[in-house]
Structure 1
Amino acid sequence: MFRSYLRLVLFAVGLLAGVQVPGFIDDYAKRVEAHRSESQQSLQGFRDTAQRFFKGDLDALVAHYRVSNDPVMQSDARSVGNLVQRAALLDEEWQAMQGAWYAQAWHLATGADADLFKETLDAYRYQVLLTPEAIAWGVISALLLAWCVELLTLAIGWVLGAGQTRRTQQRHWR
């Protein structure tokens, strides 16, 4: 009976952990979108200048700043270059978070920006979403966790010889 309750607790823990995944994915996507919007606003004045003098090419604007003899312009070249790189990174992250839920989960697991991931993780508040994706994540996570722990327990028991009776052992030693 205790073992049954232990299984239920394990299943519940897996369920509650699994329903966190869609919430975290959503928080990460919102964080990327907010940073991207801020980045676009920061670059708007430079985009206007690049549109007027360099046919909209921000890289040409940065290159122009870099070759200037004025140290202030050279310093601005570094600053604007960093802004342009950051905007490109955020655009890539935003594009990755526009795909299907499984593509978003894969991106977070394998290729998410480490700083944005950590920032999202630090600010994340546990939540129980009752969306179809959250329920699916929860049930699948619970089943996988329960199944893996059950297999691990059975394997350890088998290695240690649990469940074998003396009669079975005697029969094999004859």
Structure 2
Amino acid sequence: MLRSYIRMVLFALGLMVAVQVPGFIKDYGQRIDAHRIEAAQALQGFKDTSGQFFKGDLNALVAHYRGSADPIFQRDADNIEHLLRRTQLFENEWKALQGGWAQRAWHMVTAPNAELLQETYANYRYQVVLEPEAIAWGLAGGLLLAWIAEVLMASVVALVGLGDNRHASRRHWS
């Protein structure tokens, strides 16, 4: 009986933890999108200038700033390059999160941006989203945790020898 309760508790724990996965991925995606929009807005003035004087080529604008003897312009070239890198980073992350749920989950496991992942984690609030994806994650997580616990308990019982009941097996096979 205790074993059944432990199994149910572990299933519930696995369910509640796994149901957080889609919400966390969604929050991460929203954070990426917000940063992506902000970076694009920060770069817009430089895009306008490059459009007016360099046919839209931001690299030509950076080269022009670098060619100046004025240290302020050279520093602005560094700032523009930094903005370009950040914009590209956010754009790449955003594109990686545009696929199906499995692709998004795989990206979050294998190649998320560490800074944004930490930022998302620090601001994440636990939630129970009752969407089909969250329900599937929850059930899978609950079953997986309960199964792992069952296998571990059965292994320990078998190693210790507590599960060896020869009298019961003789009764059933006689």
Alignment TM-score > 0.5, same fold: yes
Q: Which amino acid letter does the alignment assign opposite residue 93 of structure 1?
A: E
1:71 aligned residue: 71
1:14 aligned residue: 14
CA distance in 1, matches of 2:17, 2:60: 48
CA distance in 1, matches of 2:151, 2:57: 58
Question: Offset of 1:17 from its aligned partner?
Answer: 0.6
Matches within 5 A, 1:95-174: 95-165=95-165
CA distance in 2, matches of 1:7, 1:166: 26
Please list every run of at least 4 consecutive aligned residues from structure 1 whose deviation after the TM superposition is greater than 4 angstroms: none
1:172 aligned residue: none
1:61-94 Cα shifts (integer Å, max 9, x gaps) = 2122122111000111111110110000000001
Question: Offset of 1:149 from its aligned partner?
Answer: 1.2
Q: Which amino acid letter does the alignment assign opposite residue 63 of structure 1?
A: A
Question: Offset of 1:166 from its aligned partner?
Answer: 7.5
CA distance in 2, matches of 1:102, 1:112: 14
Aligned length: 168
Matches within 5 A, 1:20-59: 20-59=20-59
1:33-53 Cα shifts (integer Å, max 9, x gaps) = 000010010000000111122
Gaps of 5+ in 2: 168-174
Q: CA RMSD in A?
A: 1.5
Question: Offset of 1:158 from its aligned partner?
Answer: 2.1
CA distance in 2, matches of 1:65, 1:105: 41
Identical positions, percent: 54
CA distance in 2, matches of 1:135, 1:166: 42
What SS does the aligned partner of 1:164 have? Answer: coil
CA distance in 1, matches of 2:54, 2:161: 77
Gaps of 5+ in 1: 168-174
What SS does the aligned partner of 1:9 have? Answer: helix
Question: Offset of 1:165 from its aligned partner?
Answer: 4.5
CA distance in 2, matches of 1:3, 1:152: 12
Structure 2-normalised TM-score?
Answer: 0.92
CA distance in 2, matches of 1:123, 1:91: 22
